[in-house]
Chains A and B, each alone.
Chain A
Amino acid sequence: MSFVTANWNPLGEAFYRKIELYDMCWDLKDALRDCLLAAAPYGGPIALLRNPHRRSPSSRPQLEIYSASGVAIASFPWKSGPVVHLGWTVTDELLCIQEDGSVLIYDMFGSFKRHFSMGQEVVQSQVLEAKVFHSPYGTGIAIVTGSSRFTLATNIDELKLRRLPEVPVLQGKPSCWVVLTQDRQTKVLLSNGPELYILDNTSCTAVSPPGLSPQAGSIVHMSVSFSYKYLALFTDTGHLWTGSSQLQDKLSEIDTKKSLPPKQMVWCRRPKSQQPSVVLMWDRLLMVAGCLLVGELDGVRIISSTSQELLQEVPLVCQDIFKIASMAPGALLLEAHREYEVRTLPEGDQGAKHGETTLIWHIAASFGKCFLTDFSPDQFVSTCRELRVLNAVRESSVGLPLTHAQFKQMTLQVLIDRLVYRQFYPLAIEICRYLKIPDYQGVSRVLKHWASCKVQQKDLSDEAIAQAVCVKVGDSPGVSYSHIAAKAYECGRTELAIKLLDFEPRPPPVCQAGDITPLTSCVSVYTVVTYLKNEMNRGDFFMTLRNQPVALCLYRQFCKLQEQETLKDLYNQDDDHQELANYYVAASYREKRLDSRLSLLQGAVDEYNKAKNEFAVKATEDEMRLLRFQRKLDDEKGAGLLGLSLQATMEALLALGLHKQAEQLYRDFRVPDKRYWWLKLKSLAEKEEWEELEKFSKSKKSPIGYLPFVEVCMKSNNKYEARKYVSKVTPEQKVRAHLAISDLEGAADAAIERKNESDVGAVLARCAGVCRDTSDM
């Protein structure tokens, strides 16, 4: 246990400790000299461009990407222009900023993603220096050009270039500069000799750090802390000034007695730090030649060609525990546990690795826990689990050295994303299960990424991939096959896309004509289907669709709206004669010319025949007969019948006095007597042909009785004619007939004769009405 504090070094009031993270796996011959280096924070990957200035095509510079532990991930010759600066985005993408102002983005596996330019004018003036910075808005880039102008992009994903105003006195590049993010504004702080300027969107303001002695000289190096809260300035006389980045307070000023500017200067502090401090690195002095300092949230990582270490301030609680003769509760607990172990167990192998140290504390804590009855173990358990996860990802093969504070800041979600991104699927799934993350946030998400990646593997057959996906994904909640299918389709593997759609367990959505708002999943089905339609020949396409109920259903909807013609082919393919016939009928109504209309209807008749729908065959034949009849009469008499219904046609004929033709239709189309009688009756009454009406009434026994005769006459206010038919009305309707012609007496007689209560009631009601009317008068 005495090892724990062995690597602690006091500085001022705080202790600093240096923890060895890795023996680097890489084998770098030239150490880290003569190369551009960039390491992403939060234990991200390291990029390295050797000999960036060598330009002859025979020996191109080599771009190499390593994990934080030095495992090689990618390596390729740099074929583009000279690179000024390398940097990583928050999502682990590599930014290569070239002299001509173009920025190339690669993913961590070295595949090119996209590129953009920092402005046209840069091509001329060239980039002198560039910096990559992180802010709540994302990853940004700042450059200074040969014409001493600064250009900023605060978020490279939503590129908006801002050219900052000119700095009056500046020639060439400033002696040093940093990017600050303050009050949601991004500014540049730069020095030109002893002067210090702040450059924002609109202005350039001269500033001076409070309390910096005038004889300190010109500022040659500056550094801002991870949180943009603190600033460190280094002058050519070896003075180091530290203070707030707002330039309002000074923390300290010391004379380092070094006249050379340091190669790198990085803040080393942690949240709730007791005292912020700065790490400076000089070539060949403080450390081994050529190494890289990476500022982290709670410390500095020092990467050299052989090893990697983490330098950080020792948290106060740890100090309390391990201080000599400490009486802090933690220390007592640890001591008690040690005593206990000495007596009961042989002392185990206690390597001084950082993670295991923490474990020891936790064993002690769990020991102490037994004596606390009302302490909730939840926090203890979750912290233990998290530490185990951190140890797992710190493994050299994975290479994500994260401290607990960094992990908390980064969140578990992001950690899993990073593992997925690095294609450590099994580990990601293990972690999800271990930390009991709900499936849809954890395992399913990993599986989805895995499957989307799997379908892009070119060396495997469609069948093999589909099987593999199906076995792994199964029906895990939250994984949509159509999503994976869409991905396969994007990569040009349509056959595979269709196979995958087969697995989609969602039933086809309820389809309704005119509604093209399917479930979200269907959107991708549409994508696939539309693609297929364009790519395959129609026959094959339909055959493919036939086995895909979901797709077929959606495609039908699509056709109803977009391509009526295709719908026809689809029905044809399916031998759906009924629908095909309906299609012809609908089409016939869109057709203006009678001949084509008739031929479409003939098509419908044929199909109805095949569908064995006798009624429809008959009806459609009738319709064609009617159309022909109408055209003939229109031609002969200009009757204007085309398009009318049979009933309306007969009506029109009667109105025109073409009784014979109406009669013909009545017989040919087997119109029921009742309806025809009604029709003729009304027509005659309308034209007030009373004699004809009487003749008609006597032509044979009326199938509708004689009450309608009375009523139509009364409608024309012809009581005289109406009276003629009252006597012919059946006994049951007599009362109503009498009432219709307002013959109350007759109605009363009839009612009494029928001895029917409701009839009497009807008469009485009418009488009452009349009485009231008369009394009103």
Chain B
Amino acid sequence: MAAHLSYGRVNLNILREAARKELREFLDKCAGSKAIVWDEYLTGPFGLIAQYSLLKEHEVEKMFTLKSGRLPSADVKNIIFFVRPRLELMDIIAENVFSEDKMHSARDFHILFVPRRSLLCEQRLKEQGVLGSFINIDEYILDLIPYDSDLLSMDHVSTAFSKGLMTLQALYGTIPQIYGKGECARHVANMMLRMKREFAGSQNQILPVFDTLLLLDRNVDMLTPLATQLTYEGLIDEIYGITNGYVKLPPEKFAQKKQGEASKDLPTEPKKLQLNSAEELYAEIRDKNFNAVGAALSKKAKIISAAFEERHNAKTVGEIKQFVSQLPHMQAARSSLANHTSIAELIKDITTSEAFFDNLTVEQEFMTGVDTDKVNTYIEDCISQKDPLIKILRLVCMQSVCNNGLKQKVLDYYKREILQTYGYEHMLTLNNLEKVGLLKPQTSSRNNYPTIRKTLKLWMEDANEQNPNDISYVYSGYAPLSIRLTQVLARPGWRSIEEVLKMLPGPHFEERQQLPAGLHKKRQQGENRTTLVFFLGGVSYAEIAALRFLSQMEDSGMEYIIATTKLINGTIWIKSLMDRPESQTP
């Protein structure tokens, strides 16, 4: 269980264990049988930390989803609400408690706020007259959730980056060097240094695992998430969306076809699959460019069938026994292969469509700086065809970013087209996009994007998708800016790109944290350095793939662990900035 977390160089299982321990302690505080009422949003993140079995060990007998009205009946002593500190949820809880009180059942109520207690929420409970009913009110600080052996996320915590980083340093030692770029990064670093001063004296005596921390503000590189990811995992996320390590897929391709039996009743429930590097095949292909996945899958198919053929060669009892012992593993590999072949087929249907191709062509034109200063015909057509608004916004924002802002006339034209076609209520959405700088009028006459592109080599003509030699393979030509910054930092250093750093928004900085004497690492010859890259405001799967690629490059000498506030793609990102996104019909 969760073995994939301990594979990497930095054992992230420690973090998971720490989180589990806290959960157990809370559960033990409420003696007796329990039912947990879940804020549905939290089930995902909690699934990454504790399976039901752990909860069961601590006398959790029932689990419900938080809903207004009466609680389902359960013969338990304790009712525990696991909720985010949201006012609307407090009203529902109050309703639940009242209806229980009416039933005259002697229950103990508890609340666990994730990730922080909130005074406002407690006040709301008080107003509702139920605050006194709660025996334990506690918080569960879910700062960082380990997703995979090199990936951490603080999915729903927006203000706790610094706290999360402190937790991390408490477990993995002080990080001696801090680099950062962007407003948020500066801010987080300041908070961290202040907290560090507050804990001065409680010097932790752990040998540092990380050599460097790089804080990157999403504002610094707004282009990358807007581009369509072209790695296998990235495409799964773009098309179907990965939430908390799971993906839901259309079921048709997964129908079990037994021989001689016509599969009449196709499953209607979406197929839910877990995706992480515990699955050998997935670990192998997740970060590949999708165009290289087919070959990898067929190679794997050959290996597996060859392995099954081995049985004919097994002659002696010993050989047969050995073959049989390998069977479970081989069968797992075969079903994994079948799953991924199906997924790849699903994706291929889409990537070979004309619409996908046209969209990608326009994206690449923008990234290479073709006609970014004019109204784009393709976008115009898409609006005419009433394509999903998010797709339109993604493209318009991308054009704006690649042109360092749009000419006022062009910007107004797009905005008017959008308002007239999708409704005037999107005025607020457009306003939000302008506030974060995704959309903006060109202020200076000079567009500095080409300079940035050239200096950082953001566009590589000859990206090799099959056997990549550069990170640009993840977007079939575009090398993500954020990762280029990371790469340059390791070698030759940011001093070489001072000019470009100045063009990008927000300050760049370097800080050092004193290590207690005796904790200075004595590096073995040839031992890699480890950098924790923290993306403030989200990271895409393709960027992760690019960083993993850098880790694996033989001459890089650097290993990367990735932490982020959120896993994003262009769609999720734009959606989060839309006003009233729920009223949105895609």
Interface residue ranges, A against B (CB under 8 Å): 437-441, 477-478, 505-507, 509-512, 515-520, 523, 526-527, 530, 558, 561-562, 578, 582, 585-586, 589, 615-616, 619-620, 622-623, 626, 644-648, 669, 671-672, 674-675, 678-679, 704
Asked if A585 meets B201 with Cβ closer than 8 Å, knowing A669-B420, A675-B417, the reply is no
Partner of A440, one of B121, B198, B428: B198
Least distance between B361 CB and chain A CB atoms (Å): 13
Contacting pair A586 B579 (CB below 8 A):
yes
Contacting pair A515 B421 (CB below 8 A):
no
Contacting pair A440 B422 (CB below 8 A):
no
Contacting pair A645 B423 (CB below 8 A):
yes
CA A704 to CA B383, docked complex, whole Å: 13
Contacting pair B417 A507 (CB below 8 A):
no
Contacting pair A510 B201 (CB below 8 A):
no
Query: Is B427 at the interface (CB under 8 A from chain A)?
Result: yes
Asked if A585 meets B427 with Cβ closer than 8 Å, knowing A507-B190, A515-B158, A646-B420, the reply is yes
Contacting pair B384 A506 (CB below 8 A):
no
Contacting pair A438 B187 (CB below 8 A):
no
Task: List 21 A–B pairs whose Cβ atoms lie within 8 Å, in order of A's numbering.
Answer: A440-B199, A441-B202, A477-B198, A510-B159, A512-B158, A515-B158, A516-B86, A516-B87, A517-B84, A526-B119, A530-B123, A562-B120, A586-B428, A619-B427, A620-B424, A644-B423, A647-B421, A647-B422, A674-B380, A674-B381, A675-B421
Partner of B424, one of A505, A619, A671, A678: A619
Least distance between B188 CB and chain A CB atoms (Å): 8
Q: Mark B411-426, 1 if CB is under 8 A from A, else 0.
A: 0100111011111110
Query: Is B197 at the interface (CB under 8 A from chain A)?
Result: yes
Contacts of B420 in A (CB 8 A): 622, 645-647, 669, 671
7 closest A-B pairs by beta carbon, nearest first, are: A438-B201, A623-B424, A645-B423, A678-B384, A517-B116, A646-B420, A647-B421
Asked if A582 meets B383 with Cβ closer than 8 Å, knowing A440-B200, A441-B201, A558-B120, the reply is no
Closest residue on chain B to residue A509 by CB atoms: B159
CA A578 to CA B85, docked complex, whole Å: 30
Asked if A645 meets B424 with Cβ closer than 8 Å, knowing A517-B115, A615-B415, the reply is yes
Contacting pair A440 B380 (CB below 8 A):
no
CA A719 to CA B381, docked complex, whole Å: 24
CA A647 to CA B426, docked complex, whole Å: 14
Partner of B85, one of A437, A440, A516, A645: A516
Contacting pair A616 B159 (CB below 8 A):
no
Asked if A675 meets B383 with Cβ closer than 8 Å, knowing A440-B199, A512-B158, A626-B424, the reply is yes
Least distance between B387 CB and chain A CB atoms (Å): 12
Contacting pair B579 A518 (CB below 8 A):
no
Contacting pair B385 A678 (CB below 8 A):
yes
Least distance between B165 CB and chain A CB atoms (Å): 14
With a 10 A CB-CB cut-off, give which of B120, B197, B199, B579 has the most chain A CB atoms.
Answer: B120
CA A589 to CA B582, docked complex, whole Å: 13
Least distance between B416 CB and chain A CB atoms (Å): 7
Least distance between B390 CB and chain A CB atoms (Å): 16
Contacting pair B384 A675 (CB below 8 A):
yes
CA A477 to CA B385, docked complex, whole Å: 60
Contacts of A509 in B (CB 8 A): 159
Contacts of B163 in A (CB 8 A): 519
Query: Is B33 at the interface (CB under 8 A from chain A)?
Result: no
Contacts of B199 in A (CB 8 A): 440, 477-478
Query: Is B386 at the interface (CB under 8 A from chain A)?
Result: yes
Contacting pair A477 B85 (CB below 8 A):
no
Least distance between A764 CB and chain B CB atoms (Å): 17
| Interface residue total, chain B, C-beta cutoff 8 A | 51
Contacts of A561 in B (CB 8 A): 87, 120
Interface residues in B362-413 by Cβ distance below 8 A to A read 380-381, 383-386, 412
Contacting pair A440 B202 (CB below 8 A):
yes
Contacting pair B118 A516 (CB below 8 A):
yes
Contacts of A562 in B (CB 8 A): 87, 120
Query: Is B21 at the interface (CB under 8 A from chain A)?
Result: no
Contacts of A526 in B (CB 8 A): 119-120
Contacts of B427 in A (CB 8 A): 582, 585, 616, 619-620
Least distance between A587 CB and chain B CB atoms (Å): 11
CA A617 to CA B15, docked complex, whole Å: 53
Contacts of B386 in A (CB 8 A): 647
Query: Is B431 at the interface (CB under 8 A from chain A)?
Result: yes
Interface residues in B231-247 by Cβ distance below 8 A to A read none
Closest residue on chain A to residue B583 by CB atoms: A589
Contacts of A620 in B (CB 8 A): 424, 427
CA A477 to CA B194, docked complex, whole Å: 8
Closest residue on chain A to residue B122 by CB atoms: A523
Contacts of A478 in B (CB 8 A): 198-199
Contacting pair A527 B119 (CB below 8 A):
yes
Query: Is B191 at the interface (CB under 8 A from chain A)?
Result: yes
Least distance between A318 CB and chain B CB atoms (Å): 36
Query: Is B157 at the interface (CB under 8 A from chain A)?
Result: yes
Query: Is B580 at the interface (CB under 8 A from chain A)?
Result: yes
Closest residue on chain A to residue B423 by CB atoms: A645
Partner of A510, one of B187, B380, B416, B422: B187
CA A674 to CA B116, docked complex, whole Å: 53
Contacts of A704 in B (CB 8 A): 384
Contacting pair B384 A589 (CB below 8 A):
no
Least distance between B332 CB and chain A CB atoms (Å): 36
Asked if A438 meets B202 with Cβ closer than 8 Å, knowing A517-B115, A674-B384, the reply is yes
Partner of A507, one of B187, B200, B421: B187
Contacts of A644 in B (CB 8 A): 423
Contacting pair A619 B419 (CB below 8 A):
yes
Contacts of B66 in A (CB 8 A): none
Contacting pair A440 B421 (CB below 8 A):
no
Query: Is B184 at the interface (CB under 8 A from chain A)?
Result: yes
Name 15 extra pairs, CB < 8 A, besides A523-B117, A672-B417, A675-B417: A440-B198, A440-B202, A477-B198, A477-B199, A477-B200, A510-B158, A511-B159, A517-B158, A526-B119, A589-B580, A619-B415, A622-B420, A647-B386, A647-B422, A678-B381
CA A510 to CA B116, docked complex, whole Å: 15
Closest residue on chain B to residue A527 by CB atoms: B119
Contacting pair B423 A477 (CB below 8 A):
no
CA A527 to CA B417, docked complex, whole Å: 46
With a 10 A CB-CB cut-off, give which of B194, B201, B202, B425 has the most chain A CB atoms.
Answer: B201
Contacts of A582 in B (CB 8 A): 427-428, 431
Least distance between A670 CB and chain B CB atoms (Å): 8
CA A530 to CA B122, docked complex, whole Å: 13
Contacts of B115 in A (CB 8 A): 517
Closest residue on chain A to residue B190 by CB atoms: A507
CA A586 to CA B385, docked complex, whole Å: 27
CA A615 to CA B190, docked complex, whole Å: 39
CA A672 to CA B85, docked complex, whole Å: 47
Contacts of B198 in A (CB 8 A): 440, 477-478
Least distance between B537 CB and chain A CB atoms (Å): 10
CA A7 to CA B118, docked complex, whole Å: 63
Contacting pair A619 B416 (CB below 8 A):
yes
Least distance between A591 CB and chain B CB atoms (Å): 12
CA A50 to CA B428, docked complex, whole Å: 76
CA A622 to CA B121, docked complex, whole Å: 41
Q: Mark B179-215, 1 if CB is under 8 A from A, else 0.
A: 0000010010011001001111110000000000000
Contacts of A515 in B (CB 8 A): 158-159
Partner of B191, one of A507, A623, A647, A675: A507
Contacting pair B579 A615 (CB below 8 A):
no
Closest residue on chain B to residue A677 by CB atoms: B384
CA A647 to CA B86, docked complex, whole Å: 37
Closest residue on chain B to residue A505 by CB atoms: B194
Least distance between B172 CB and chain A CB atoms (Å): 21
Contacts of B580 in A (CB 8 A): 589
Least distance between A583 CB and chain B CB atoms (Å): 10
With a 10 A CB-CB cut-off, give which of B84, B159, B383, B428 has the most chain A CB atoms.
Answer: B159
